[in-house]
Amino acid sequence: LRNLFAPRMGKQRQSFSNHFQPRASSYKVAVLGASGGIGQPLALLVKMSPLVSALHLYDIANVKGVAADLSHCNTPSQVLDFTGPSELANCLKGVEVVVIPAGVPRKPGMTRDDLFNINANIVRTLVEAVADNCPDAFIHIISNPVNSTVPIAAEVLKQKGVYDPKKLFGVTTLDVVRANTFVAQKKNLKLIDVDVPVVGGHAGITILPLLSKTKPSVSFTDEEVEELTVRIQNAGTEVVEAKAGAGSATLSMAYAAARFVESSLRALDGDGDVYECSYVQSDLTELPFFASRIKLGKKGVEAIIPSDLQGLTEYEMQALEALKPELKASIEKGVGFAQKQA
Ligand code: NAI
pLDDT (tens digit per residue) in 223-274:
999 999 999 999 999 999 999 999 999 999 999 999 999 999 999 999 999 9
Phi, psi for residue 8 in degrees, rounded to 5? -65, -25
CA distance 326 to 127: 25
Q: Please give the model's pTM, rounded to 2 decimal places.
A: 0.95
Q: Does position 15 have pLDDT exceeding 50, yes or no?
A: no
Shortest-distance atom of ligand 1 to CA 249 = 43
- Residue 23 confidence (pLDDT) above 90: no
Confidence category of residue 325, pLDDT binned at 50, 70, 90: very high
Please report which confidence band the pLDDT of residue 25 belongs to, taking 50, 70 and 90 as the band edges: confident
Which of these, 19, 67, 78, lies nearest to 39 by C-alpha position? 67
Distances (CA, A) of 211 to 195, 310, 313: 9, 13, 9
- Give Cβ neighbours of residue 46 (< 8 Å, ≥ 6 apart): 29, 31, 52, 55, 77, 99, 258, 261
- pLDDT at position 24 is 62
- Which residues form the pocket of ligand 1, taking CB atoms under 6 Å from any ligand atom? 32-33, 35-39, 59-61, 101-106, 115, 119, 122, 125-126, 142-144, 146, 171, 174, 202, 247-250, 253
The percentage of residues in the chain with a pLDDT greater than 90, rounded to a whole number, is 89
Catalytic one of 56, 72, 140, 202: 202
Mutate to test the pocket of ligand 1, among 144, 260, 277 (most ligand atoms within 8 A of CB): 144
Give me the pLDDT at residue 11, please. Answer: 36
- Ligand 1 pocket test, pick from 106, 116, 127, 142 with the greatest ligand atom count within 8 Å of Cβ, gives 142
pLDDT mean over 153-168: 98
pLDDT greater than 70 at residue 190: yes
Res 13 pLDDT > 60 = no
Ligand 1 atom closest to the CA of 58, numbered from 1 = 20
Q: How far is the CA of 18 from the centre of ligand 1 (A)?
A: 32
> Which residue's CA is minimally distant from atom 18 of ligand 1?
122
Range name among 18-22, 152-156, 298-302, 308-312 with the lowest pLDDT average: 18-22
Is ipTM over 0.85?
yes
Work out the average pLDDT over 195-209: 97
- Residue count of the chain, please give it: 342
Nearest CA to ligand 1 atom 38: 142
Catalytic (active site) residue 72: no
Residue 8 has pLDDT above 90, yes or no: no
Predicted pLDDT of residue 273: 95
Whether the predicted pLDDT of 332 surpasses 50: yes
